[in-house]
Structure 1
C-alpha cells in the first residue's frame, strides 16, 4: 500500500508544493532509503523558475580563472589591479561590489574564483560593460591577464531566496564550494528540498552563500560553506547527519544530480571576506 506525504519548506508563496509517493518498507514499517529516491512531480506554472527561486534584483558573477602554475603571483597581482580599478570608478562602484576572491587549495588547483555582486539586475551589468568597453586602462589590464592564465569562464548566478544573507567573515577561514550539475527540469524540486535542508546547516554559521546559474553553464548549483579549518568542516558535517531529517533531505536530492564536485578555497589577500 502506498504512503503519500508532502514536503513542507520555508519558501516564497509562489513556490509549488511537491507531491511524493513511495512504498513503505514491509520489514520496518518505515520508509526505506530506496523509497525516497522515487521521482517526484511538480505542478505546472507560468512563472519562470528563476523568478520562483530568487526574489531579488541582484545578480552575481562567478569568474573562474585557471592560471599558469608558474604565474600565480603575477596573476594575483594583475587581478588586484582589476579590483582597484573597479573600486576607483564611481559609476562602477554604485552597482558592483567584490564579495570574495579565492584560490583553490584542494580540487582544481592553479585555479582562482572571484564572486562579484551587481545591484540593479542586468541593467547594472550593461552599464558596467559600457564603461569597460570604452576604458583603455581596463583593456590593457585585461590583455595583460592573458599572459598568466590558461582559460576563463564567467557565469551569472542568482542567490536562492531561502539562503541566509551573505555575511563577510573576518580572518581566518577556509571555504568550500560544492558545485552540482542537475538534471534539466529539477531546479524547483532542488530548491524545495534545500529550503528545508538549510535549517540543518546553520549551527556553526557555516552557510555562506547558495546560488543557481542563470547565464553560462545551466542547471548549475553552487553551495558555499565557511569553516575555521578542515577539522571544523569534518565535525560540522558529521553533526548534520546526527540531526533527524537531514538524511531525508539528502535522499530527496541525490536523484536530481548528474554530476558534483567540491573545492576547498583560500581567500586572497584582497578578498573582502576572509
Structure 2
C-alpha cells in the first residue's frame, strides 16, 4: 500500500517491540498533511485487494492504537537508512499545557545530546493520546545505548534539560524495538 503513489503515504519504518509491550508492532507513516491522510485512507479502502487484506489482518490483531502526530521543527525525521541494531522509542505524557515549555527545553537539550548520539525523530500527538511526545533513537545494541546515555550527562546542558523537563511529565515509557525486514529506517 505504501508503494502506490496515489496513496500519498510514506513508511518511515516498522518495528516489533523486543522490550516493553511485547507482541506489539510500531509503524510510523508520513502523510501529506490531513488532506494526504484522508486521501490515503480513501485510496487504500477502495483498492481491490484491500477487503481480503483487511479481513486477514484483523485475524492477527488483538488491539490497535493510532495517533496523528506532527514532527518537531527542530528535529526532522531522518531519511531512510540501514544502520542495523535496535531502536528505543521513548514516550512522555506531559501535564496539559506544558508542550511548548517542554519543546523549548528540548531544543537546547538536543544540541547537547547530539554530541554523543543522533536521534531518528521526535513527534507530538495532535489527535489521539494528547499531551504525548515520542522520540526515537537508534543504537548498535543495548550496551551502546547504556554508554551513550551515560556520556550525555557529561555534556554541558543535558543535566539542565532533564532537570527542567522532568516536572512537566506525568508518565514515561521506554520500548526497545527491532526493525522489521521491510523497514525503511533500520
Smaller-chain TM-score range?
A: over 0.9
State how far apart, in whole Å, the 2-side matches of 1:250 and 1:204 are.
16
Q: Given the alignment, which residue of 62, 66, 85 partners 1:173? A: 85
State how far apart, in whole Å, the 1-side matches of 2:47 and 2:183 are.
24
State how far apart, in whole Å, the 2-side matches of 1:174 and 1:238 are.
18
Residues 28-75 of structure 1, C-alpha deviations (whole Å, 9 max, x = no match): xxxxxxxxxxxxxxxxxxxxxxxxxxxxxxxxxxxxxxxxxxxxxxxx
Residues 206-245 of structure 1, C-alpha deviations (whole Å, 9 max, x = no match): 3110000011111110011111111111111111101122
RMSD of aligned Cα (Å): 1.3
State how far apart, in whole Å, the 1-side matches of 2:83 and 2:166 are.
34
Q: Given the alignment, which residue of 241, 244, 248 partners 2:156? A: 244
State how far apart, in whole Å, the 2-side matches of 1:203 and 1:228 are.
17
Which sections of structure 2, spanning at least 5 residues, go unmatched?
none
Instruction: Identify which of structures 1 and 2 has the higher relative contact order when contacts are C-alpha pairs closer than 8 Å and 6+ apart.
Output: 2
Contact 2:94 2:170 in 1 (8 A): yes
Give the match for residue 260 of structure 1: 172
Give the match for residue 31 of structure 2: 118
Q: Given the alignment, which residue of 82, 86, 97 partners 2:2? A: 86
Give the match for residue 207 of structure 1: 119
State how far apart, in whole Å, the 1-side matches of 2:54 and 2:88 are.
28
> Structure 1 residue 167: deviation in Å?
3.2
Moved more, 128-137 or 172-181: 128-137
Give the match for residue 183 of structure 1: 95
Say which SS state the counterpart of residue 75 (structure 2) adopts.
coil
Give the match for residue 97 of structure 1: 10
State how far apart, in whole Å, the 2-side matches of 1:242 and 1:171 are.
26
State how far apart, in whole Å, the 1-side matches of 2:134 and 2:43 are.
29
Give the match for residue 11 of structure 1: none
Contact 1:179 1:262 in 2 (8 A): yes
Query: Is 1:139 aligned with 2:55?
Result: no
Which has the larger Rg?
1
Cα–Cα, structure 1 residues 242 and 204, in superposed 2: closer, same or farther, change >3 Å? closer
State how far apart, in whole Å, the 1-side matches of 2:100 and 2:72 are.
11
Contact 2:77 2:122 in 1 (8 A): no
Say which SS state the counterpart of residue 67 (structure 2) adopts.
strand
> Structure 1 residue 172: deviation in Å?
1.3
Number of equivalent positions: 186
State how far apart, in whole Å, the 2-side matches of 1:224 and 1:172 are.
14
Give the match for residue 151 of structure 1: 63
Contact 1:132 1:139 in 2 (8 A): no
State how far apart, in whole Å, the 2-side matches of 1:255 and 1:168 are.
34
Contact 2:116 2:152 in 1 (8 A): no
Query: Is 1:194 aligned with 2:102?
Result: no
